[in-house]
């Protein structure tokens, strides 16, 4: 009860102070006349209840959009003109749940494998991205409101995201994120904040659950004559499921939009975070399955934890140039302090970093004879400087200085994409992206070990989009991707000088369909990627960081499938509905004639992941759902001699909107208290003594109430 009171008191005090204080690149629709471009959004029949499964097809609540922030419905229409795997996840898909990370928000997006390591630390892999990374995040371009969220070297964390402030998450898989600055095989995740226009009014939210978890949020959306303001403050405390897994965080998010004229709008964003996480670390397979709460003794001795203080400010201005043409310009700056004691081998990572950049992009349409042509073009720059120090770990405190470097990274991405409509139903797509990246380290302790390197690539893209009927669509594309190494790859855990690593390159072919016919809606994508110099890592010991290398040739291929079926309507009461939603991901990642590993499976993710939810919605604004997760066994080492076991988890969710001002929810996870491994690091050859595994959480329950006024 003390923790709940502490969070509530800080929320109220912070919010009282905030009352004295008064982009994402626009996904421009590109065409103003809807009669000239076929509508490809697939909408389910309207009903009184709210849609809760956020896939790339479905119904989206009609929030109010602005020039700088299109509504969820507008964004869905635009994204579903992408000739490949893309999705919009409406916040309605996860707001009636204790949603803490991407494992909670992206579980019904085919092809996204998001699993928690601990607390808010989650690993997200799309089409085999980031297989080499056993810590933090790699292989995805993360954006917050269209602004780069990762560090300039492409590494990052997701702990600073507050799901309670999001109105949607946009997912562009693989090369479909090319035009949004994504260069890797994984693609782009773009997290779009609420605005005063989209969510007017005031809201209080309180949640509590297992492991002494308490979270409180207070937010307001205000609309003025020519402006709107959104502010939010969230506080969370939790003991965590495992030993040495306590967390405490405070997150502030805000944005202010000002309408400069009928055809221009500017929006300023400001966020601040204070996050403290204890790290429970990895254990052996036996320990993970038989004593999941336990941690290695060294974790306690070294007091391994991660503390973050960050500030972020950005601006995005949109000009409507008429005739469906738009121009977006913006800039961003972030400051982040990281204090991160880990193993005795590595020590205490102590970093102060700044990231900054500017961007501009235009979009529009015109006629070539009787044929419609639409385009997007733009440039994004992203720079970063990090004062990176490492100290000996003395019980979680700084000891002797062991490394002192200045790390600098710079990126320039220039892109263009064109859609030419051969007929009203068939569009041909051609595009390209030029990428330049630079990495530089100046070693203060040993200047002779200073090093730098540059990487560049042109990434072409061709595709086609065919609107078979009003509600059925087919697409295909071929895209090149490119991923330079980050500082963790190049320095290998604090060593001086760069490791000899090349950038990872790939060509990806995908073909698929999405649509709705009667009571059935679906999404199906098949892809195959041919990779060169894939950056892979393996753990060499329990306290020794991962060692990276370039594989020669590898192949990533798989299936991303979503299927929803309305099983019954008007079953108990007029307007009710029973629907089953299913998501299946098949992943086949392997070496291709490697000198050491032959055609072995690349360790890191399970080949089969299936999630299903059976949900009943009643027109009196309540729902009940049962869900199941099945994950197959997975290879842990590149030698394919050791596996993590598969598992099946059961859960439920229920919610009730008492009236327009009060709503509640309750959720249960891992109802049978199954002992399982949620995540793991990879190795060349694992053994029963290898400490590579993160135990999954046991049975847990959470509930919450939201007050609106």
pLDDT tens digits along 496-509: 568 888 999 999 99
Model confidence at 249, pLDDT cuts 50, 70, 90, reads very high
pLDDT of residue 356: 96
Per-residue pLDDT at 682 exceeds 60? yes
Per-residue pLDDT at 559 exceeds 50? yes
Per-residue pLDDT at 134 exceeds 50? yes
pLDDT of residue 47: 32
Least confident span in 114-118, 147-151, 359-363, 547-551: 547-551
- Between CA 278 and CA 300 the distance in angstroms is 10
Q: How far is CA 101 from CA 125, 160, 676, in A?
A: 14, 10, 19
CATH number of the CATH domain containing 405 = 2.40.170.20
Burial class (CB in 10 A: 0-12, 13-18, 19+), 549: middle
- Between CA 597 and CA 315 the distance in angstroms is 48
∠ CA(59), CA(63), CA(68), 5° rounding? 120
At 522 the three-state DSSP class reads: strand
Domain that holds residue 325: 2-708
What's the predicted TM-score (pTM) here?
0.89
Q: Residue 76 belongs to what H/E stretch? A: helix 72-79
- Between CA 478 and CA 431 the distance in angstroms is 10
Half-sphere exposure of 16 (CA within 13 A, CB side): 6
Asked whether 212 and 3 are in contact (CB, 8 A), the reply is yes
Model confidence at 277, pLDDT cuts 50, 70, 90, reads very high
407-465 residue pLDDT tens:
999 999 999 999 999 999 999 999 999 999 999 999 898 888 888 899 999 999 999 99
Rg (CA), the chain: 24
Q: What's the average model confidence in pLDDT over 348-356?
A: 95
Domain count, the chain: 1
pLDDT of residue 12: 39
DSSP code for 202? E
Number of H helices, E strands in the chain: 6, 35
């Amino acid at each position: 009860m003390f923790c709940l009171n502490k969070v509530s008191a800080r929320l109220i005090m912070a919010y009282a102070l905030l009352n004295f204080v008064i982009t994402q690149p626009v996904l421009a629709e590109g065409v103003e006349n809807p009669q000239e471009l076929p509508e490809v959004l697939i909408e389910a029949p309207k009903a009184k209840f709210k849609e809760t499964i956020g896939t790339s097809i479905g119904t989206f609540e009609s929030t109010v959009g602005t020039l700088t922030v299109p509504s969820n419905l507008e964004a869905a229409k635009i994204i579903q003109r992408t000739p490949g795997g893309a999705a919009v996840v409406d916040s309605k898909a996860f707001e009636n749940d204790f949603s803490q990370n991407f494992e909670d928000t992206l579980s019904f997006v085919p092809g996204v494998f998001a699993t928690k390591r601990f607390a808010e630390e989650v690993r997200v892999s799309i089409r085999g991205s980031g297989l080499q990374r056993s810590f933090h995040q790699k292989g995805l371009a993360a954006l917050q409101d269209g602004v780069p969220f990762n560090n300039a070297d492409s590494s990052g964390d997701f702990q600073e995201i507050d799901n309670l402030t999001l109105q949607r998450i946009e997912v562009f898989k693989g090369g479909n994120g090319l035009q949004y600055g994504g260069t890797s095989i994984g693609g782009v995740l773009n997290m779009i904040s609420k605005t005063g226009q989209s969510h007017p009014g005031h809201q209080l939210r309180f949640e509590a659950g297992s492991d002494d978890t308490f979270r409180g949020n207070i937010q307001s959306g205000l609309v003025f004559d020519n402006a709107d303001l959104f502010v939010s403050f969230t506080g969370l405390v939790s003991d965590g499921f495992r030993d040495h897994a306590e967390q405490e965080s405070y997150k502030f998010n805000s944005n202010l939009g000002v309408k400069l004229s009928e055809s221009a709008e500017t929006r300023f964003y400001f966020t601040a975070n204070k996050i403290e996480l204890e790290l429970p670390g990895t254990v052996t397979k036996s320990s993970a399955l038989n004593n999941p709460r336990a941690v290695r003794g060294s974790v306690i001795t070294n007091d391994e934890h991660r503390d973050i203080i960050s500030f972020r400010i950005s601006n995005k201005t949109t000009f409507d140039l008429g005739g469906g043409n738009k121009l977006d310009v913006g800039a961003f700056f972030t400051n982040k302090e990281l204090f991160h004691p880990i193993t005795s081998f590595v020590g205490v990572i102590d970093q102060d970093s700044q990231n900054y950049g500017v961007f501009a992009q235009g979009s529009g349409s015109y006629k070539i004879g009787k044929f419609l042509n639409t385009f997007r073009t733009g440039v994004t720059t992203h720079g970063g400087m990090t004062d990176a120090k490492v100290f000996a770990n003395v019980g979680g405190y700084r000891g002797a200085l062991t490394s002192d470097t200045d790390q600098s990274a710079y990126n320039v991405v220039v892109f263009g994409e064109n859609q030419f409509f051969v007929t009203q139903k068939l569009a041909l797509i051609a595009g390209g992206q030029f990428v330049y990246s630079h990495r530089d380290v100046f070693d203060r302790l040993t200047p002779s070990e200073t090093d730098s390197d540059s990487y560049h690539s042109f990434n072409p893209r061709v595709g086609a989009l065919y609107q078979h009927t009003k509600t059925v669509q087919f697409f295909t594309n071929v895209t090149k991707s490119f991923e330079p190494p980050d500082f963790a790859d190049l320095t290998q855990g604090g060593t001086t000088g760069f490791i000899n690593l090349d950038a990872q390159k790939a060509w990806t072919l995908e073909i698929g369909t999405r649509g709705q016919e009667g009571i059935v809606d679906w999404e199906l994508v098949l892809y195959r990627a041919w990779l060169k110099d894939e950056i892979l890592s393996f753990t060499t010991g329990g306290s020794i960081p991962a060692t990276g290398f370039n594989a020669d040739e590898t192949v990533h291929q798989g299936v991303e499938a979503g299927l929803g079926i309305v099983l019954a309507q008007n079953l108990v009461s007029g307007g009710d509905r029973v629907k089953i939603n299913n998501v299946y991901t098949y992943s086949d990642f392997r070496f291709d004639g490697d000198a050491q590993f032959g055609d072995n499976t690349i360790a890191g993710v399970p080949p089969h992941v299936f999630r299903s939810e059976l949900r009943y919605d009643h027109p009196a604004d309540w729902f009940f759902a049962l869900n199941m997760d099945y994950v197959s066994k997975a290879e842990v080492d590149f030698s394919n001699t050791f596996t993590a076991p598969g598992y099946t988890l059961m859960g439920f969710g229920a919610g009730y909107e008492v009236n327009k001002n009060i709503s509640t929810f309750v959720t249960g996870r891992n109802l049978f208290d199954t002992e399982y491994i949620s995540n793991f690091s990879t190795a060349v050859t694992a053994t029963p003594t290898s400490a590579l595994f993160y135990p999954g959480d046991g049975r847990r329950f959470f509930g919450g109430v939201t007050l609106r006024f």
